[in-house]
Amino acid sequence: MIELEGLTKRYGEKVAVNNLTFTVRPGIVTGFLGPNGAGKSTTMRMMLGLDRPTAGDVRIDGKHYDRLKDPLKYIGALLDAKAMHGGRSAYNHLLCLAQSNGIAKKRVHEVLDTVGLTAVARKKAKGFSLGMGQRLGIAGALLGDPRILMFDEPVNGLDPEGIHWIRNLMKSLAAQGRTVFVSSHLMSEMALTAEHLVVIGQGRLLADTTMADFIARNSRSYVRIRTPQRERLLDVLYGAGITVVQTGSGTLEVDGGKPEHIGELAAQHQIVLHELSPQQASLEEAFMRLTAESVEYHAHSDAPPEEQAWGNDWRRS
Amino acid sequence: MAATQVIRSEWTKIRSVASTVWTLSLAVIVTIALGMLISALSKNEFDNMSARDQLSFDPTFISFAGMSLGQLAMIVFGVLVVSNEYSTGMIRTSLAAVPQRGTFLFSKIAVATGLALAVGMATSFVTFFLGQAMLGEHRAQLGDPGVLRAVIGGGLYMTLIAMFSMGVAAMLRSPMLSLGILMPFFFLVSNILGNVSATEKIGRYLPDQAGSKIMQVVTPVDDSTPYGPWGGLGIMALWVVAALAGGYVLLKRRDA
């Protein structure tokens, strides 16, 4: 368990992390979400005692990080895939970490095997691709067989195979009952792996909720319909007591409707349909809306934002 | 956190990077080769020297002449041992593994110092014997008064210069900045300050000027240095303590 209490970090006038209070609970994957520059990495560095908080407190299982005996056995972290000496072999990199925490040598071979780097164990890390460096960093995090794992943007810059591997790894770590705390700036990535969600923007806490709750509150499922016999279909649906939303681009949307039911109604009345598709509102948009006011680096474009049919409508509802 | 674990870890770190081998080899080779060369030249020049210079002739000190260049490789060793943690980003991984920063820094320095001492001491003895061989009839014997002290002192001098560099690198973090200050300082600035009469009195309290006194056996005629060989080494040791203390305080305070 990781507890943050009023955690604050100021760099001169600039507040990077502003009075963060939340708890990372054991046994689940907690997603730590925020736009770039929201303070995720700074928060994680403070959790590991690398940066000193301006105010507030972080405790790992009730203790400050620097009070942990052999901390790699409590918490394993991947902050930056490049946080290693490129001239050192993968094996020696892991060996020096293991020795500093009294971890047996055979564990080095085990984690190299887990991340699939056994074949290049004696090669210097500077020759590694980004994906291999990331795997080596993860091997370091797993070294002490810790109950808590922390990954900062682990899928950044990885190829699809690497992303897939990391997702599965995080899920299996949580399935073993470990605490997994993973940061990302991509909601879609979190939706696939995290059970709990902590969202920050400009260093402030914006949401601390379960993923299921977040989806229920922020997503909307509906059926999208296109038909050349628009008026007739509207009558039929109205007659059946179904509420229809007409969108600007000429499609119809039925909130929470079943496509089977609507299709059968249309067939009974011999109405031609060009499209009948179930839709799910994207969580990415819900996340962007949540953090919209707190994005530090807005991309300024002169062109007005593209009209997004369902999105506009959804904001009204 | 047991310090022995951290020391073992730091030993793995130091032996697993190429810079350790090339900096220390360079220190050994340069010190010995240049010492032999200058010893050989001094032997040939001896008869042309003034009586006064012949009186001050210090065969032991002459055989250590290569140290003026060899110490630069020792400085590079000391700087890289500490600053490569920063230049590579390894420092964050290291401090996450060993959050007790004092234990981390002083284990690293202990391991690097031990290695520098072993290499420095061996270099000093080899340099002495090969240098004396070159000097022929002007040679000194290890049993002569003060000679053994000077040879052991040569090894200590090389160790202390490496330690001083570690402290400076711990303060400055950047290898380029550390080397950019230390190399010209010890190669040029210190020599200039020590040889210009206006600054001589300050110059002789600089770490290398004071420390190298330990390698002198024959005191030059009308030498006014206010400290002896061990006093000089003590002054150098104070510089080392100050640099390491500065490095420790900054590491303790700073964000990694």
Q: Do B12 and A95 touch (CB under 8 A)?
A: yes
Q: Nearest C-alpha of chain B: how many angstroms from A200?
A: 22
Q: How far apart are CA B193 and CA B185, in angstroms?
A: 10
Which chain A residues are closer than 8 Å to B14 by Cβ?
A: none
Q: Do B13 and A82 touch (CB under 8 A)?
A: no
**In a domain? residue A130:** yes
Q: Which of A217, A239, A263 is the last residue of a domain?
A: A217
Q: Nearest C-alpha of chain A: how many angstroms from B4?
A: 8
CATH number at residue A110: 3.40.50.300
Q: Which residues contact A298 (CB under 8 A, 6 or more apart)?
A: none
Which chain A residues are closer than 8 Å to B100 by Cβ?
A: 66
From the centroid of its chain, how far is CA B88?
A: 25
| Domain identity same for A115 and A51 | yes
**pLDDT value at position A307?**
41
- Find the range with the poorest average confidence among A27-41, A283-297, B208-222, B239-253: A283-297
**pLDDT value at position A257?**
76
Over residues A44-64, mean pLDDT: 94
Q: How far apart are CA B193 and CA B189, in angstroms?
A: 6
| Domain identity same for A104 and A212 | yes
CATH number at residue A271: 3.30.70
Answer yes or no: are the C-beta atoms of B52 and B223 closer than 8 Å. Answer: no
Residue A110, Cβ neighbours under 10 Å: how many? 14
* Cβ-based interface (< 8 Å): residues of A facing B: 45, 48-52, 65-66, 68-72, 77, 79-80, 82-89, 92, 95-102, 140
**In a domain? residue A121:** yes
Q: How far apart are CA A315 and CA A81, in angstroms?
A: 39
Place of tokens 């918490």: A75
* Helix locations, chain B, DSSP H: 3-15, 18-45, 51-56, 59-63, 67-88, 90-97, 101-135, 147-172, 175-184, 190-195, 200-203, 207-211, 229-253
**In a domain? residue A313:** no
Q: Nearest Cβ partner of B90 from A51, A52, A85?
A: A85
pLDDT band at A199 (very low <50, low <70, confident <90, very high): very high
Tell whether the model's pLDDT for residue A23 goes beyond 50: yes
**In a domain? residue A304:** no
Which chain B residues are closer than 8 Å to A49 by Cβ?
A: 95-96, 99
Q: Do B255 and A52 touch (CB under 8 A)?
A: yes
Over residues A145-162, mean pLDDT: 90
Q: Do A49 and B96 touch (CB under 8 A)?
A: yes
Q: How far apart are CA A38 and CA A278, in angstroms?
A: 34
Answer yes or no: are the C-beta atoms of B147 and B214 closer than 8 Å. Answer: no
**pLDDT value at position A294?**
63
Q: Nearest C-alpha of chain A: how many angstroms from B162?
A: 21
Q: Nearest Cβ partner of B88 from A50, A69, A86?
A: A86
Q: Within 13 Å and on the Cβ side, how many CA atoms surround A185?
A: 14
- Chain A's closest residue to B9, CA to CA, is A96
The interaxial angle of helices A90-100 and A105-114, nearest 10 deg, is: 130
ipTM for the assembly: 0.91
Which chain A residues are closer than 8 Å to B99 by Cβ?
A: 48-49, 65-66, 68, 71
Q: How far apart are CA A292 and CA A238, in angstroms?
A: 37
Q: What is the pLDDT of residues A301-313, one digit of tens each?
A: 444 444 443 444 4
| Domain identity same for A115 and A166 | yes
| Domain identity same for A131 and A274 | no
Specify the amino acid at residue A23: T
| Domain identity same for A235 and A195 | no
Mean predicted lDDT score pLDDT of chain B: 94
**pLDDT value at position B222?**
72
Interface test with B, best of A64, A70, A85, A148 (most B CBs within 10 A): A85
Q: Which domain holds residue A128?
A: 2-217
**In a domain? residue A311:** no
Q: How far apart are CA A248 and CA A250, in angstroms?
A: 5
Tell whether the model's pLDDT for residue A131 goes beyond 60: yes
Q: Which residues contact A24 (CB under 8 A, 6 or more apart)?
A: A1, A2, A3, A30, A148, A179, A181, A198
**pLDDT value at position B124?**
97
Q: What is the pLDDT of residues A75-87, one digit of tens each?
A: 999 998 788 999 9
Determine what percent of chain B is predicted with pLDDT higher than 90. Answer: 82
| Domain identity same for A58 and A196 | yes
pLDDT band at A221 (very low <50, low <70, confident <90, very high): confident
Number of domains, chain A: 2
**In a domain? residue A122:** yes
| Residue B213 to residues A79, B129, B185, B231, Cα–Cα distance (Å) | 49, 19, 18, 9
**In a domain? residue A297:** no
| Domain identity same for A168 and A228 | no
- Find the range with the poorest average confidence among A81-95, A275-289, A297-311: A297-311
Which chain A residues are closer than 8 Å to B90 by Cβ?
A: 83-85
DSSP summary character for residue A21: E
**pLDDT value at position B62?**
95
Q: What is the pLDDT of residues B119-170, one digit of tens each?
A: 999 999 999 999 999 998 899 999 999 999 999 999 999 999 999 999 999 9
Q: Which of A217, A236, A258 is the last residue of a domain?
A: A217
Q: What is the pLDDT of residues B61-117, one digit of tens each?
A: 999 999 999 999 999 999 999 999 999 999 999 999 999 999 999 999 999 999 999
Task: Check residues A193 and A216 and name the one with the higher pLDDT.
Answer: A193
**Which DSSP string corresponds to A170-238?**
HHHHHHTT-EEEEEES-HHHHHHH-SEEEEEETTEEEEEEEHHHHHHHH--EEEEEE-S-HHHHHHHHH
Answer yes or no: are the C-beta atoms of A1 and A147 closer than 8 Å. Answer: no
| Domain identity same for A96 and A213 | yes
| Domain identity same for A180 and A76 | yes
Q: Nearest C-alpha of chain B: how many angstroms from A66?
A: 5
| Domain identity same for A16 and A98 | yes
| Domain identity same for A237 and A88 | no
Answer yes or no: are the C-beta atoms of A170 and A103 closer than 8 Å. Answer: no
* Pairing verdict, β A148-152 and A179-184: parallel
Task: Identify which of B214, B58, B197 has the alpha carbon closest to the alpha carbon of residue B131.
Answer: B58
* Pairing verdict, β A14-24 and A2-11: antiparallel
Q: Do A88 and B17 touch (CB under 8 A)?
A: yes
Q: Which of A217, A246, A268 is the last residue of a domain?
A: A217
Q: Nearest C-alpha of chain B: how many angstroms from A176?
A: 23
| Domain identity same for A144 and A236 | no
Task: Identify which of A260, A261, A243 has the alpha carbon closest to the alpha carbon of residue A313.
Answer: A243
